Amino acid sequence: MALMVSSSDTKERLIASVLELVAERSYANVGVQELCEHSGAKKGSFYHFFKSKQDLMLEALEHQTEAINKMILIPAFSSNVAPLERIERMFNLTYEYQKSLKGKTGRVTGCFFGNLALELSTQDEAIRRLLDKIFNQQIKLIKQCLEEAVTMGHLSEIDIQLSAEAILAYWQGVIMFAKVRNEPEVLKSLAKGAQELTI
C-alpha cells in the first residue's frame, strides 16, 4: 500500500528542492521539471501550489529568511550579548553555518540572498523587491545594535544608518570572499573588520 503524502508535505518538498538546487547552481539553471523530479512531486501538484517558478522562489525566500533568522540573526542579536559583540557573533554564527554546508556539499555555498541578488536583481522585479526587504530587515537589526552601543557609551556618535548599511555590505562581501576561496574560516578571520566600520 502506497504511503499517503499530504499536500502540505508536497509543498514543503518543492520549497526545499528549489532552495537546494538554486544554491548548487543558479535560478536560471533550474527548471520546473527538475524541481518536480527532485522533490518527487507531479507537475500538476507544482501548479496547484505555485503559478510559476518565480512564485515558488518568492515563498522559498520567506522560508530561507525564517531559517537564517533562527540559525544566525536571532541568537547573534540577543540582548544578553553586548551590542558590539553581537556583530562579531553574527560573523561567527555565519562561519558555523557555512562550515556545516561545506561539510555536506564540499563547498562554501555563500549567502542564498546575496547569490540571488547578484543573479536576478536586474531581471526580476518581484524577487528584487523581496530581497531588498530582507536586506533592510537585517540592516534594522544592525542599526538597533549600534543605537544601543551609542546610548551605552560604547560607541561615539556616528551615522548609524550609514554604518549599519556598510556592515551589512561588508558581511555580504566577506561571505562572497569565503565562497570564492571555499574557506569558511575567512568569516572568522575578517569578523573584527566589521567593527572598524563604526569608527
Neighbours of 42 (CB within 10 A): 11
Q: What is the per-residue pLDDT across 87-135, written as a single tens digit (0 to 9) for each?
A: 999 999 999 999 999 999 999 999 999 999 999 999 999 999 999 999 9
- Give the homologous superfamily in CATH for domain 1-50: Homeodomain-like (1.10.10.60)
Q: How confident is the model at residue 192 (pLDDT cuts 50, 70, 90)?
A: confident
Cβ(166)–Cβ(197) under 8 Å? Answer: yes
Domain locations in the chain? Answer: 1-50, 53-196
- Closest CA relative to residue 98, chosen from 183, 36, 173: 183
Nearest-10 Cα torsion for 19, 25, 27, 30: -90
Q: What is the per-residue pLDDT across 165-190, written as a single tens digit (0 to 9) for each?
A: 999 999 999 999 999 999 999 999 99
Give the whole-angstrom CA distance, residue 142 versus residue 87: 7
Give the whole-angstrom CA distance, residue 52 versus residue 114: 22
State the CATH class of domain 53-196: mainly alpha
Residue 180 DSSP code: H
pTM: 0.91
